[in-house]
Structure 1
Amino acid sequence: METPLLLPLWIALGAIPGALSRYYLTLLCVQKFGGEFPFGTFIINLSGTFLIGFLATLFLSIKAGLPLNGFVIVGFLGSYTTFSTYALDTSNLLKLGNYRRALLYGLGSPVMGFLGVELGIALAQRL
């Protein structure tokens, strides 16, 4: 029987690689694409929403336990995705007068994120 007492440990263990993945992917994107547009946050949000849709659906179908769900969904993806940073990045783009980029980023992230979740769900249901 699974014990929910260890669940915070599983979440914490998942959060470490999630946060580090977010950090290094952001650095890589700034290095590769520059800092004019927050590509790192954009890519992380899109991949994170796809993964959460896919894995939540998959875990439900295979009846994954609390430790795996806590480690991956809450821990890893919870620290990997960056919607708080998304809001700050949108605000910063607006403050800098980059209205087109702010509009693309501000509206593109939730729309594409929703599509990512739906695509992840559809793919997991087909497996």
Structure 2
Amino acid sequence: MILALTALAGGLGGIARFLVDTAVNRHNRWSLPLGTFVVNATACLFLGLLTGYALGHPTWDEIYAVLGVGLLGGYSTFSTASAEAMRLLHVGRWRAALVHSGGMLIVSVATAALGLGLGNALQ
């Protein structure tokens, strides 16, 4: 049952990623793929929050699998971010690729740490 729920949550996460990415990029005036940036930063925040909370609740293993691995795994998209960085490099925009990938790494780690701290505080 957990496997089916995790797969369903992964599909829902993919739909959420598409909707957020599309909404952000529709209003994006920059030449960087901002939608992927927003998706990955929010995924790290939510996964940190979930992890911080779940660490204090060992009975949450199955819920963590469904929400963390399924929903947020389907929502986050670091493979797309890597492909976007390579696309920027391919067209000679190495500064944009560096800003995109380096900025995403820094923001994602920071939002994951923030979420973890908030999740621990909710225990």
Give the TM-score, by structure 1 length: 0.88
Aligned residue among 103, 106, 109 for 1:114: 109
Overall identity of the aligned pairs, in %: 26
Aligned residue among 19, 22, 28 for 1:24: 19
Equivalents in 1 of 2:3, 2:120: separation in Å?
Answer: 29
For each residue in 1:92-122, what CA deviation from the matched residue of structure 2 results, as whole angstroms up to 9, or x when unmatched? 1111222221111111111111111111111
Contact 1:7–1:66 under 8 Å retained in 2? no
Count of residue pairs brought into register by the alignment:
122
User: 2:28 aligns to what?
Assistant: 33
Q: Aligned-pair RMSD on alpha carbons?
A: 1.5
The 5-angstrom pairing of residues 1-127 of structure 1 reads 6-34=1-29, 36-127=31-122
> One-letter code of the match for 1:9?
A
Contact 2:50–2:119 under 8 Å retained in 1? yes
Equivalents in 2 of 1:106, 1:64: separation in Å?
Answer: 36
For each residue in 1:2-22, what CA deviation from the matched residue of structure 2 results, as whole angstroms up to 9, or x when unmatched? xxxx22112112112100010
Unaligned ranges ≥5, structure 2:
none
Contact 1:10–1:67 under 8 Å retained in 2? no
> One-letter code of the match for 2:62?
P
